[in-house]
Structure 1
């Protein structure tokens, strides 16, 4: 603990008349008190009676053992959940003719979401019809060749060749059919119009299309999510990388709480911080794209205590806390770990859970018993 400077009687005599008046006369001296002026002991601690504390407006509170260290003011933004979201894309270029679902809608797997008219679909349907026709012809030829081979009229090589052609034709049909699994040709629209089907059940989180819009192949049309969770992304200082692990709590505005899910393995080039992704449940009040401030709760060291933020005083680049021992007060240099607008988490020699600290009036104590 830094050495405290002894406050002599001469120094006390030089204090302002107002302070001395409060110390000595704020009410009458207690019965039996020979001297109502503050006294400094050999360690530089200032001794104040309860009456003097009251007159000077010095209040005290007991420090409590800290369980978490809040790291506040972290700029964050809400995003679609990484593990529970799906981008629904348009397989072929075309023009949107009708939007069938909107943001917030619940959809079932296979439900039509969008109608698109596409020349590519016309081409695909023609290719599928040709592939089916060729597959039928190849299959018939393979059956005929099998009969002819059994009767000894053709060589085995010709039979094998016809079987291979039939297998290739079936594969072409399967491939053309697979391209239609996420869409369904519209029976009510113009040629080449198809319905884009939901690949899974979920809620439409984002709609990126509107009627009349021209879309390229594989353009994103909707974002689907399952469940009600959202992701919270923010950066932390690189110095905290060893302290941040999945599972830590993150506090958000309006009392919402999230949990750290992943910590980045490389530094963000722009912010020179480490990316963190948390997940918040039942986030009906939060929206993707929303900007906010998050507070990360780190585990507190064993010796850390929580004190009111008003108890912490700035002295140059150091933080000072005034601690009571009996009727004596002295300043202790502490290391600030974190905190918020109401409280601070600190560690310091002689500062432990249960010790009384000056919650207000610390600046006056700093005048009476300054820290060297």
Structure 2
């Protein structure tokens, strides 16, 4: 009780000398212990970082393909499952389709008709050269042959879009993977009847990957494309490739996109992660939220300005909060290497303002 009384008296004496926030406060070792004051060096825990921000792992659009039913039919065979690795051109499913048979039949018929009319055209050209038929008949034959050739070409293109092999009838329709990758999703079951364009498989190449990051507007405004990013508590890293120009009205955040190559194999599409982003030079310093105090409408931090055998000196310094996320804040007004109080700040504020001096 006697010690606490002395501490209160000391606080009162200090408060009388602290009308100006720039005046240093000298605390003896006993006072520092009683107030639970602990300090940390600014920038020591990772200089230039913005702290952690929420992010989500995505597959880049250009690295994803879908295997879809080109025509309606029944799923006759499924060769792979989600998580399987596939190669480009690998058969992943068979589709039994009457519509595919119709396409094959129409292609054969149109091809035969076009060939027959080409023969008729050659014959009429010979007869016209010999003066045995009128030019009008030759022109009519040419028009008919051209129309048949165009129809045959259209049928062949329809077969190609459907993935149906020309020149034969029957057999299941083989569906193949368009890229090397991993099966992310299976959209049908064996024996299921599907319509045209129904999703069979979703396949993706999983390196590199994207991170979509939600960042406060004040923080995003100071970032530049090419800045480094890192998954918290891991060796996974990458670079910013896009900074959004629109603000989400609900959260007041900006969407950032980063490409991750190093360590991408350890991530999973859809995974939620915590991301660290390198701050631009001069953007600020990261502090624990516990280091801040509010007084007279200002945000303060207590900077250790001197050390002696008599104790430690602290000066209250106003600063600007750039952004805050979780238990840390990004501030402007401190230099890397300065030492600040991160615990016992409420006691320092009491000494500063004179609370408890009576």
Determine if the TM-score, normalized by the shorter chain, exceeds 0.5.
yes
* Alpha-carbon shift at residue 217 of structure 1 (Å): 0.4
Cα distance in 2, alignment partners of residues 46 and 101 from structure 1: 71
Following superposition of structure 1 onto structure 2, how do residues 134-145 of structure 1 map, counting pairs within 5 Å? 134-145=113-124
Which of 247, 270, 291 is equivalent to 1:289?
270
Cα distance in 1, alignment partners of residues 273 and 9 from structure 2: 48
Provide closer, same or farther for how the CA distance between residues 283 and 45 of structure 1 changes in structure 2, counting only shifts above 3 A.
Answer: same
Q: 1:153: which partner in 2?
A: 132
Q: 1:278: which partner in 2?
A: 258
Q: 1:34: which partner in 2?
A: none
* Alpha-carbon shift at residue 322 of structure 1 (Å): 0.7
Which of 323, 328, 332 is equivalent to 1:347?
332
Of Structure 1 and Structure 2, the greater helix share is in 2
Matched, 1:204 2:183: yes
Cα distance in 2, alignment partners of residues 165 and 269 from structure 1: 63
Query: Which stretch of structure 1 is more off in the superposition, 136-145 or 332-341?
Result: 332-341
Secondary structure, counterpart of 2:304 in structure 1:
strand
Q: 2:91: which partner in 1?
A: 112
* Alpha-carbon shift at residue 114 of structure 1 (Å): 0.9
Gaps of 5+ in 1: 1-15, 26-36
Query: Which stretch of structure 1 is more off in the superposition, 83-92 or 158-167?
Result: 158-167
| Alignment TM-score, normalising by the size of structure 1 | 0.75
* Alpha-carbon shift at residue 52 of structure 1 (Å): 4.6
Matched, 1:95 2:78: no
- Deviations along 1:211-231, whole A, 9 cap, x unmatched? 022211011222222352333
* Alpha-carbon shift at residue 321 of structure 1 (Å): 0.8
Provide closer, same or farther for how the CA distance between residues 242 and 41 of structure 1 changes in structure 2, counting only shifts above 3 A.
Answer: closer
Cα distance in 2, alignment partners of residues 366 and 336 from structure 1: 18
* Alpha-carbon shift at residue 296 of structure 1 (Å): 5.3
Cα distance in 1, alignment partners of residues 145 and 350 from structure 2: 98
Contact 1:118 1:192 in 2 (8 A): no
| Alignment TM-score, normalising by the size of structure 2 | 0.78
Provide closer, same or farther for how the CA distance between residues 362 and 94 of structure 1 changes in structure 2, counting only shifts above 3 A.
Answer: same
Which of 82, 101, 108 is equivalent to 1:122?
101
Cα distance in 1, alignment partners of residues 176 and 50 from structure 2: 46
Aligned length: 339
Q: 2:158: which partner in 1?
A: 179
Contact 2:219 2:322 in 1 (8 A): no
Matched, 1:169 2:148: yes
Cα distance in 2, alignment partners of residues 239 and 310 from structure 1: 21
Contact 1:185 1:192 in 2 (8 A): no
Contact 1:330 1:369 in 2 (8 A): no
Gaps of 5+ in 2: 307-311
* Alpha-carbon shift at residue 123 of structure 1 (Å): 1.4
